[in-house]
Amino acid sequence: MNRGNVSHGASATLRGPGPVEGRSWLAPVFGVSALAGVVGLAALVFQVAYADRIVSGVRVLGLDLGGQSLQAGKALLEASASQLGEQPVTLRAGGREWQLPAAELGMRVDADAMVQQAYRIGRDGNPIQRVGSQWGALLFGTRFGIPLLEFDAERQDAVLRRIGAEIDQSAIDARIDTQLAQDGRATIVVVPEMVGQRLRARESAQRMNEAVSRGLPTTVDLVVDVERPVVTRVGLEPARARAQDMVAGPVMLSYANSNWTLTPHEIARTLTFRPEVGNQLQVEVDADALGKAVSKISAQIGQAPSNARFQWNSNGSLTPIRESQDGIGVDAVTLARTLQDRLNPTQRAFPVALTTTRAAVTVEDGASLGITELIKEGRTEFPGASAEKQHNVKLAASRLNGTVVPPGEIFSFNKEVGPTTLGAGFQTGWGITISDAGAQTIPAVAGGICQVATTLFQPVFHAGYAIEQRNYHLYWIQSYGQPPLGMKGLDATVDESAGLDFKFVNNTQNYLLIQSRVEGTTLIFGLYGTKPTWDVKIFGPVITSVVPTDPAPRRENEPTMPEGRSLQVEAAQDGFDVTVTRTVTDGDEVRTLPLRSRYLPAHNVILYGGPPEPKEEPPASSPDPNVPVPGASALTGGNAQSAPSGAASQASTPGPQAQPTISAQSQPQQPTATPTQAAGTSPTRTPAPTSSPTPAGAR
């Protein structure tokens, strides 16, 4: 019974509520079905109404594209995008502004992508999502807040590079400067530091793209890195104050019973500033600069070092002919340290310390110099030369005899000969200068020593040594072209006062001895040492641009000559250009030297003393176009001659300085030419600068 009652009760409980629960879930089903039907109907209506068209209410870039086809919508967007590209974008950096159209910054609207995105509204997602998008666009509208943009990286980079070029600036450290006043005072000042800045192009482009994408017009602050200077004015103030104390007044230097003064300007030029830890500067006195400032003192109380000189004997031994002499001069290093440590506004007087410089070649070095054989010998003749010229040639040659040139050193003719003055023992010969009237022969001290320079130049050239400086004559001198070493184009002119020198480099590992002698009227130079292993070949001379001369005699009065004396100082000689090329082959290395010279026509000029002779009227005739007019260029017919490649041009009319004087010989001789620096003289050296138009006499 009990089990039956329980079973019956349970059964009733399960069945009883059955019909009621069935009605509760059928109602939502019918509601959902109805809604689905409505959605489907709405979707169908929209599909039919907007087939192949953008749904109503869709706006892009402010344009209502609802109901437009893809093609029509794209056309509207492209027109609007063109206007959008004209919208300004203001770029700011470094306190400056640049305003450019968005299109110039590389912005471009992707009309295709935007119209496709607009067309997809109401067509993506499930039916409910599509209907919601469609009705949302219809009732409330759908807008694209950010257009789909593209950016031309190259155009952006070009704009940013241009801006960077305007604002980029490296940081500049503060520095100490010296101001020299005309009243002799020197003022030490600090030039303030400057902060640097540098545009970061990549980050600036990214920031610019983001700003433009958010809307136009817009302002963009470009990304700029700030560079801080390392040295500031605050850190330099102690050094400035110390330097100002050092230039507060003149400095008195003394040695024995002599005194000299260094001006504030001279002191200021010796000061340097060395960086220290903590961005500080240490004031120092530069010993080299101070040495130049006190060179006048060294010249008075000291002497330059001079090497020993030797005579080569036929048995290969060397005989000393001059002792070496150590140099004595101001000890600039010690003096610089003294001024650096002790110079102040109250301590302004100091004694001068001396130092000794050992000669590079001493008598004791003779046995180890390795001078064992004759390398090359050159000679020229000077028969019939005036007594003055003979004296000058012999004196200059003797000043060179026994000179030793160490390996790697530069030989200077002017330095070894010394001053070419009357006080140094030279006599007044004859020279030719270029003036308004053309070539003119005048007295010239040391006239004739160009023959000494030429006679030495020829064996040096043939032996293959590197020519550092060589200057050719204005006229070719026939006696310089005699064999075996002489040829047209191989001459050298010198003039100490004009800076015309003959220099060569002993570019070997061995010492070189220069030995000279005069036998009658023959000048001989021998080069002794160890023969270089290189091979020398000489090509030429190649002569071009020949200008015929006028052989008619020309008598010119010279007031300094005694009455009754006459002297032919120039012989008729055609003008011409000439090139002599030398090659020196040393293993795989080949040095080529094209030696170029330009000579003007010379004439038969005779100088005479006493009163001027009456001038004869020449017969009327047409001028010969090939004969140069005095004062005009023999090559161009104008008033200037063209110097060869690598040489300075020299006007025939003088500038503010006096024009060159070129020595004459008692035998026919020609004047000196515009100086030229030979090109390609040495594989390891830069040739010396070409001499400017010669301001004084070349002999």
Q: Domain check: are 571 and 592 in the same one?
A: yes
Write the pLDDT tens digit of every residue in 450-462: 999 999 999 999 9
Residue 622 lies in a domain: no
Peptide bond into 671 cis (omega under 30): no
DSSP E strands in 396-506: the ranges are 403-405, 410-412, 428-435, 438-445, 466-469, 503-505
Residue 311: give its domain's CATH number.
3.10.20
Question: What's the pLDDT at 409?
Answer: 95
Phi-psi label, residue 564: left if phi above 0, alpha if psi -120 to 50, beta otherwise: left
- CA-to-CA distance for 400 and 307, rounded, in angstroms? 12
Please indicate, yes or no, whether residues 395 and 467 belong to a single structural domain of this protein: yes
413 & 495 share domain? yes
Q: Is pLDDT above 90 for 425?
A: yes
Instruction: With H, G, I as helix, E, B as strand and everything else as coil, classify residue 289.
Output: helix
Percent of residues, the chain, with pLDDT higher than 90? 47
The verdict on residue 8 lying in a domain is no
- 198/150 same-domain check: no
> Is 554 found in the same domain as 645?
yes
Q: Is the pLDDT of residue 637 over 90?
A: no
Among 422-436, 473-487, 641-655, which range has the highest average pLDDT? 473-487
Question: Where in the sequence is the domain holding 244, given as residue range(s)?
Answer: 238-357
Residue that is last in its domain, among 125, 140, 165: 165
Is 17 contained in some domain? no
- 445 with 511, same domain: the answer is yes
Residue 27 has pLDDT above 70, yes or no: no
CA 296 to chain centroid, in Å, comes to 32
Band (pLDDT 50/70/90 cuts) for residue 620 is low
Residues 512, 582 within the same domain: yes
Same domain, 562 and 423: yes
Question: Is residue 616 situated within a structural domain?
Answer: no
Cβ 192 vs Cβ 233: under 8 Å: yes
pTM listed for this prediction = 0.58
What is the phi/psi pair of residue 478, to 5°?
Answer: -60, -35
pLDDT digits 0-9 by tens, 518-562: 999 999 999 999 999 999 999 999 999 999 998 999 888 888 888
The tokens for 575 are: 């003008």
**Predicted local confidence at residue 579, as pLDDT:** 97
For residues 643 and 529, membership in a common domain is answered with: yes
The span from the CA of 121 to the CA of 126, in Å, is: 12
The reply to whether 364 falls in a domain is: no
Q: Tens digits of per-residue pLDDT, 110-150?
A: 777 777 777 777 677 676 666 666 666 565 555 554 567 78
Whether the predicted pLDDT of 350 surpasses 50? yes
pLDDT tens per residue across span 646-668: 333 322 223 333 333 333 333 33
DSSP line for 140-167:
T-EEESS--EEE-HHHHHHHHHHHHHHH
Distance, in Å, from the CA atom of 195 to the CA atom of 402, rounded to the nearest integer, reads 63
pLDDT at 16: 42
Give the span between the Cα atoms of 111 and 73, in whole angstroms. Answer: 9
Predicted pLDDT of residue 24: 54
Domain count, the chain: 4
- pLDDT, tens digit, for every residue of 139-163? 555 555 456 778 889 999 999 999 9
Same-domain pairing of 285 and 198:
no
Distance CA 255, CA 349 (A): 11
Whether the per-residue pLDDT at 416 is higher than 90: the answer is yes
Residues 135, 209 within the same domain: no
Has residue 697 been placed in a domain? no
| Residue after which a domain boundary falls, among 120, 143, 165 | 165
Residue 628 lies in a domain: no
Q: What is the pLDDT of residue 610?
A: 84
- Note whether 155 and 54 are same-domain residues: yes
In a domain, 677, yes or no: no
Give me the long-range contacts of 333-341 (CB less than 8 A, separation at least 24): 333/287, 335/253, 335/287, 335/290, 335/294, 336/270, 336/284, 336/285, 336/286, 336/287, 336/290, 337/285, 339/246, 339/251, 339/267, 339/270, 339/285, 339/290, 340/283, 340/284, 340/285
